[in-house]
Amino acid sequence: MLSPTRSAVRSGLWAIIAIVAVMSTPPAARGQVTNVTADNAVQPAVQMAPDPAVQIAPGPAVQMAAEPAAAVTQPLIDIQQAIQMAVDYDPEYQQIGWLIDKARGDRFQATRLPNPTVGFGAEEIGNEGAAGLYGVFWSRNIVRNNRPAIQHQYFSLEIARMQHRYDIRGWQLMLEVARRFLTVCRLEQAIQVTQVQVAALREIYETTKQLQQAGELSQVEVTTVDIAIDTLNQRIVEFQVQREYQRRALAVPLGLTVPGVVSDEATLPETNFAWSVTVNQLMAQQPTEIDPAWLAMHPQVQVAQAEARQSCVQIDLARAQRRPDLQVGANVGHDDSTGDTFAGFRVGIPLLTRDNKSGLIAAATAEYQRQLEAIRQREMQLQAAHAVATGELARLQTRVANLRDVIIPKAEENLEQIRVAYEIGEAEFLLLRAGVERVLQAQLDLVQAEYELALADVRIATLLVDE
């Protein structure tokens, strides 16, 4: 089976790698440019092992007791490998390839002219074999109005339509894999953010313990801090469980699981990104108006246009069928009664008294008009989707900027003020806990906003094929 458009499907791969890699940047490194050349080309930030068989299982930045160490190593898969694996494994993608091969076979067959008929015949045999007619004959249908060429054109358009479906499915796979990678990255960042807050609460716990031993606070305060730490640890466990299930969900389209069988840890992909960009690059993007050329070359529009052209060809084919094929034949024989050799010729043509193909022409014309409206409908849908997507991108840029530059700094400043007041006995722990929760929630909101921002950019990069 051939894959004529696979290179075209992967044409947007590097843009998606850059977008998805944003989520792999640790929160502490946000806004720092790493490995960017003068021509703004992103370079590998991590050198991969030269032996592809080597498996690495990187752990989180802070190893929590709630997350047991893996007993086996896990395969290292980056976004580029994941998309290629999904393309190679996806059954729908492979089916389209076989449909292309089928259309090629149909096109070849449609251009073949009818086979002639040859035979031997005898009649009026009598007089002990001394009388009768016998001989050989030949006949065939003469195809008129160049119908094989019209059918060749129809199946060529079918091949083009399938190739555009190839492109669409490739973009859909890119979006699906990128979305799952982004989800795993978001959960990993949420784990890291929560772990930082747990570490901060542990420091508060030690301070509270010292104040309780000095008789300035009761054991209730110590227990309250301990409960708060356990609550955050439970949240970390929930994030870890979600992350594992997302990794399992990612393993399915990559062909790393067997249906109905629970995979062990060795078959699950580890999200590793060997590329690094900054959130600032996403923040600096300016939403643009839809490009008419982009709209005209969109694969979904191309599919609709191919279907419309096929309907137009069907009109030509129906009109061509109004002039039926000629039926011609010839024969050569011998007459035993006279000893003469004779030859004959005949020509026939169907009379269109019952079926003049007018129904086919009307149906094909109606289908062609419907396909023209379908093209216009798809263009309108893409224009609306593009406007919504660019508006969402602008909204998320504003939200990320507000969280990063205003809300989180204010929450951290307020928390530090409460911490100082708590240590000198001028603030209750509940107030301190509320400050910690505000900082944690603001940081989790930033993680979610950056995830949604990256996902919005990925959707635009994959031509909004999910609409």
Nearest by Cα to 221 from 234, 213, 209, 230: 209
Residue given tokens 């002639």 in the structure block: 116
Q: Which two tokens stand for residue 323?
A: 């002039």
Taking the domain 6-461, which CATH number applies? Answer: 1.20.1600.10
Instruction: Please compute the mean of the pLDDT values over residues 214-234 and round it to a whole number.
Output: 89
Question: Other C-beta atoms within 10 Å of 298: how many?
Answer: 24
Q: For residue 33, what pLDDT band results from cuts at 50, 70 and 90?
A: very low
Whole-number pLDDT of residue 283: 76
Mean pLDDT of the chain: 77
In the chain, what is the straight-line distance between the N-terminal and C-terminal CA atoms, in Å? Answer: 29
- Alpha-carbon separation of residue 156 from 12, 150, 152, 159, 429 (angstroms): 26, 10, 6, 5, 74
Most trustworthy range by pLDDT among 47-56, 249-258, 379-388, 425-434: 379-388
| pLDDT-based confidence at residue 279 (cuts at 50, 70, 90) | low
Domain boundaries, the chain: 6-461
Q: Which helix (H) or strand (E) holds 79?
A: helix 79-89
Q: If you count them, how many residues does the chain have?
A: 467
pLDDT, mean of residues 315-328: 86
Q: List, for residues 404-461, the tens digit of each pLDDT value.
A: 999 999 999 999 999 899 888 888 888 888 898 899 999 999 999 989 988 888 888 8
Q: How confident is the model at residue 103 (pLDDT cuts 50, 70, 90)?
A: very high
Tell me what the mean pLDDT of segment 144-171 comes to.
Answer: 91
Could you tell me the CA-to-CA distances from 363 to 154, 311, 356 in Å, in that order? 16, 9, 14
- 342 pLDDT higher than 60: yes
**Predicted local distance difference test score (pLDDT) of residue 100:** 94
Q: What is the pTM of this model?
A: 0.71
